[in-house]
Structure 1
Amino acid sequence: MTKLKVHGTAPFEEGDLASLRGDCARMVPHWAAPERAASRPVPPSLIHGVSVPAASARLLDAMSEYGD
């Protein structure tokens, strides 16, 4: 487990978006973005092992398409 170092305390009020954005801005230098990998579609023949319960399939089948 990694030991976290605390350099100070920052007041945080739950629901305070400005505090959350400030925390995120201070953490940006510590985050490394991965190199962008080109995503390719997976052929349907490689997709297997997915099962959907009948009740869920009926529920999804009864839903309208997005944007209706």
Structure 2
Amino acid sequence: MTNLKVTPSTPAEPDGGLASLRGDCARMVPHWAVPEHAAARPVSPSRIHGVKVPARSARLLDAMSDYGD
């Protein structure tokens, strides 16, 4: 008879968990450059085009008091 081992499809903490992720991020910090320019200026609404929001998402945001009121 074959001994079949049953393992969960996803581990409790994939790839080592939060501590491993934080360590990876800390090692990447020197590679992330901070822009040297000042904060971005507001853009005129007439220049914003091509943004499509699914109706389902718009309804969801509309139902949230932070956005819809």
Structure 1 length-normalised TM: 0.47
Structure 2 length-normalised TM: 0.47
More helix per residue: 1 or 2?
A: 2
